[in-house]
Amino acid sequence: MVRGASEILDEAGVPSAEHDARALAAYALAVPHLAYAPSELPDDFRAEFAELVDRRRRREPLQHIVGHTVFRHVTLRVEPGVFVPRPETEVVAQHAIDAAVAVVATGRDPLVVDLCCGAGGIAVSVDVEVRASAVVAVDASPEAVALTRHNHGAVGSSPLRAEVGDVRDPALLADLDGTVDVLVSNPPYIPPDAVPTEPEVRDFDPDLALYGGGLDGLEVPRAVVLAARRLLRSGGVFVMEHAEVQAEAVREITAAAGFVEVSSFEDLTHRPRGVRAVAP
């Protein structure tokens, strides 16, 4: 049955057909992996599995169907209307975590801010992997903030400050001006004329989390850079994801804001997908 589902999904253009077929079968059986499948299939399994496969065939994201995704060391709930965390953003989280660990090594508890937090993948990962951190998460979407709170509540180690806010607001988190050790962000950055080709992204991820504004898609990222310059303490670390073609422009924007040690870093496929810089 899984082999047949894999063929159906492959014909529909699903890039990870066999993986998704196995994941859907496990979900229908309420087990974490097919290795734990019962010796006898439930009577209703065939019909339920067929329905799940049909949803995926129509390119509904696997994460929406099963209701969760794995990000680094945590399992996150995902919901329609909130951006689904991607594996490449795990690298962005790693840079933020490394910077937070460096602060701990100096004997201080780091203050970390995650702007445009989405489902909370970065914020929750920092909290889980750097227990001494105080984490603040912000998103313009109330649904995203609620989901971040839920995901943190499931695995978090310390209180999380999560609130709705616009990174373009010059008073955002004003009480933290000049005190933040690490500011990390995966903002919307897609230009208006670069509509994603993947149906899972184009048809299901919210526009608020995709399109960065302006002709180059960098209106929101520019605002994130300015917010980071205001919030970070001297020596604080700034980390932000961007599109591959935006690497040079983002470095210029970051340097123009006054940051030093500005450099690009690669994602899991060795493409320049993020910027790292230090507040002077």
* pLDDT range class, residue 196, cuts 50, 70, 90: confident
pTM of the model: 0.92
* pLDDT range class, residue 30, cuts 50, 70, 90: very high
pLDDT in tens, 70-87: 999 999 999 999 999 999
Is 90 exceeded by the pLDDT of residue 254? Answer: yes
Q: Where in the chain is the domain with CATH 3.40.50.150?
A: 80-278
**Residue type (1 letter), 143:** E
Q: Residue 194: its pLDDT value, please?
A: 87
3-state helix vs strand vs coil in the chain, percent to 5: 45, 20, 35
What are residue 180's DSSP bridge partners?
A: 232
Structure tokens at 80: 């329609």
Provide CATH code, domain 80-278: 3.40.50.150
